[in-house]
Structure 1
Amino acid sequence: MTTIVVAVKYVPDATADRTFSADNTVDRVGVDGLLSELDEYAVEQALQTIEAGDGEVVVLTVGPEQAADAVRKALQMGADSGIHVTDDAIHGSDAFATSEILAKAIEKVGDFDLLFFGMASTDAGLGVVPTLVAERLGLPAVTFASEITVDGDTVKIRRDGDVATQEIEGTGKLVVSVTDQTGEARYPSFKGIMAAKKKPVEEWSLADLGLDASSVGLDNAWTKVESFEPRPPRTAGEIVTDEGDGGVKLVEFLASKKFV
């Protein structure tokens, strides 16, 4: 039986009024959040992989209490079980600390065949966590997959770049990150929503992973936001009255803004 672990992230809704907290960390509590859209593609590819054979999909997330919603959405899509790593000490952790937490959690999961990620999160957009986790686990990584084919213990991906397409193949345990070109993620059905209520979700702390709080959190982050300021409100547009010279006025305006 194939076991695929999918790491997902709970992120602020892009349509909401996103902001930072007083300590310059992303506010994940005071705004609506959801499963990162890019991670939905990873869940979808994992589900398609096991549908072709016998297997299970385990969803893993790291985050505050509200991050359970990300796990729940993946379970509604069809994943079999979930793991939520939550601990007050995690607040403010950067990509490096997050990768350590994920790696420890995956080690605790034990036996698995593949580890799937979205290519990046929709809030930070760094795209480095999949390879950081692969490095910590000593596993090869095939990243930015636009198409995935799994045949036994062989994984083939197609990576589409700006000027070329690459085909990459790996065997054994692998870390795979997928792009939004892999195909639309399924919507949870009513049956899936109801079934998700009975699926097991484990909650782990840092102590459960054998991690000390001194290795994570904002005080130990390698990268931090030093300052921020809200985007200025949109100003009223300039109305040009066409009195036969509208074209000239338009060109003059564009030239003043150095657009032409």
Structure 2
Amino acid sequence: MTIARLDGATRLYGIVGHPIAQARSPEVMTARLQQIGHNAVLVPLHVLPDAFDSTLRGLMQLGNLDGLMITVPYKARALALADSLLPSAAQVGAVNALRRHADGTWQGGMFDGTGLVLALRAEGFEPRGRLVKMLGAGGAGSAVAIALAEAGARALDIFDTDAARAAELAQRVTTHYPDCQARAVTDPAHLDDHELLINCTPIGMQPGDGMPAPFGRLDPSLFVMDIIMKPPVTPLAEHARACGCTVLNGIPMLDQQAQAVLSFFTETSS
């Protein structure tokens, strides 16, 4: 990628993680920033766990730093760095983006689930009013559940191998979105009248993983989303396609998330 402009007036953004070499955001976000006319670049920042707090607080003092993306394993830890939070970040308990306001304060947002909702809508699937089965109540699952409830999902059935974690997430969704009937379930493979199945677990990333649950024949009307990006076709996705289902992997979610973060950044960029 050719940088259109890099000089003393260039504004800085960063993506913080450990490790960071795998991140696609520096290339993707820099191109998008410059396409909309911003003299700005986004750079990878490898921050070690023991130095996270001191490093981030130092970075955030830079006068030409306008925003940070946060990736694994720091999304929950970064919450404490924000002076204010968007509602979804407070509800999830984590942030994946921080932006500097004109007064120097920092605001945190969470866009993992936003990216999934936008990806579904781009594919013609509207979450509002739907019955959803979710596998995984960890960080990604929490963001997805909150975003689906915010988008108007009628009900969420949440499974996690840690039953307490699934129950806690269901309670959190119900507290913030009482119109969404969220509950923890004990059978990962049982599908009743569900219209959307989402895998938010890492099962399917490694060779030999198999599916995240022993699904039988799926109804072709079921929409299936596996948020895993590599491999692009997981065992669950392969099975669902063989059953005639519409299937999405995590790549459209990541692309939509990047656009949402870009909008978050540029609303208040210097």
Scaled by the length of structure 1, the TM-score of the pair is 0.30
**Larger relative contact order, structure 1 or 2 (CA cutoff 8 Å, min sep 6):** 1
Higher alpha-carbon Rg = 1
Q: If the length of structure 2 is used for normalisation, what is the TM-score? A: 0.30
Write 1 or 2 for the structure with the bigger share of strand. Answer: 1
